[in-house]
Structure formats: structure tokens, C-alpha cells
Amino acid sequence: MAGVITVAVVDDDRMLLDGMRSWLGRVPELRLVATAGTVGELLAAVGPGGPPAGPGGGGPPDIVLLDLLLRDDSAPADNIRRLLAAGSRVLMISTVPDRTRIIESLRAGADGYLTKDNDLPALVAAIKDVAAGHGAHSPELAFACAHDNSPSRPKLSPRERQILLDYASGLTLKSAARRAGITVHTAKDYLDRVKAKYQQAGRPAYTKIDLARRVREDSLDAG
């Protein structure tokens, strides 16, 4: 079972849950370990005393497919944070590409957002991307980010964005500057501007890890 990605689904649509069992059962690299109607039910099922989630037993599922709106009227952002705190990554699923909620989900820590009309290959690809630590880039996600005009999303110039992406991806500032064809001093100036803009937007990013998180939250690497 080495290399198998464990998956759980939180949705109050029983037909969808049945469909997920059938769909994911066809994919050898994935293992559906739990389904639930609410996040509370899932955490009770895979928490202490519940059935094991991982292939070797114990632990939270690697990925949780989380419906945006659940029957308990829980806030999506709260659900995401609870699942992250439990140790799972979160891929949001919804019936509609709600632009505002897509952005809110990303800001809360979700790794992607898919509408339920995507096919099995798209879902599997998204799950694998999230499990690998990458965001799941879907057309609806790209559209939402491209049209996000909220004050909390800084407006970055093309050069600021380039330096941010290169630096946050793991390059040193010197390497990012060389790649952009500018001096290290100029690259640092661009990076300082990026940090100042996020600070002004109420989302400070002091470290490289913080900057990488902002890149993911704003899907800046989606193209």
C-alpha cells in the first residue's frame, strides 16, 4: 500500500458519496477511508478510537474533499481550519464556481477548489497535486483569482510577481535576481515592496514561508 493517498469526503449528498465510493474505488493510487455529512462526524470517525485512516493504520486522511455548504450551516473557513489542524489537506468541492467563496476558502488554507461537474481524471489529478503539496489549479479557481479585486489581495506589478514567485519557490534572492536580469539590490527592493503591500492589506508576510503561503492562497502560480 506504499504511496497510496488516503482520501475522505465530507458532503451531505448521499448520491454523491455513493458515486465517490465507486469513482475512487477504480483508482489504485487512492484509498477512500471515510465519508461523512459534517466535519465533526468525520473527525469523530478518524480520530482517537475511530477506524484507522492511513494504509498502515492510524492518522488523519491525507486529503479531505470538502463540500462548500453543509447541512449543519457550518462556516466553510471554520471547517477548513479544523481539518488542517487535524493534519489533512483540503480540496473544496461545490456545485457552483462561487468566486467570493473560492477566494475565502483559499485564504482559510484550502489547497484547491473544484466544481462537481469535473470528471474523474480531473478529480484524481487535483487530489494528486494537493497530496504533492501543490495547489489544485482548476479553470474556476484561475477565473476567481484573476477577478479578485478584494482589498486583501495586493496588486503586484509583473516584476514584483516574478521576484515573489521565484523567491518563494525556493530560489535565493541572488538567483531570482539573476533569472530576472536585475541586480540583487533591485530584486530586494521589489521583494520589500511585495511585503509592504501584503502588510498594508492586513496579511503580513515576514518570511519566505509566509510569502510561499501567500502565493498559494492567491494562486499566483496558477499562471
The verdict on residue 153 lying in a domain is no
Helix (H) or strand (E) holding 144: helix 139-146
Give me the mean pLDDT over the 31-50 stretch: 84
**Domain of residue 172, CATH code:** 1.10.10.10
Single out the residue in 146, 173, 200 at which a domain terminates: 146
Regarding predicted confidence, which is higher, 223 or 208? Answer: 208
The per-residue pLDDT for range 68-125, each reduced to its tens digit, is 888 888 999 999 999 999 999 999 988 877 777 777 888 888 888 888 888 888 899 9
> Residue 55: pLDDT above 60?
no
User: Do 57 and 125 have their domain in common?
Assistant: yes
CA distance 88 to 210: 20
User: Do 28 and 55 have their domain in common?
Assistant: yes
User: Do 75 and 170 have their domain in common?
Assistant: no
Q: How far out from the chain centre does Cα 23 lie?
A: 22
**Domain of residue 74, CATH code:** 3.40.50.2300
Strand order across the beta sheet in which 113-115 lies? 30-36, 5-10, 63-67, 89-94, 113-115
The per-residue pLDDT for range 133-172, each reduced to its tens digit, is 877 766 666 656 665 667 777 888 889 889 999 999 889 9
Please state, for a pLDDT cut of 70, what percent of the chain lies above it: 86
Domains in the chain, number = 2
Regarding predicted confidence, which is higher, 27 or 151? Answer: 27
What is the domain range of residue 216? 158-222
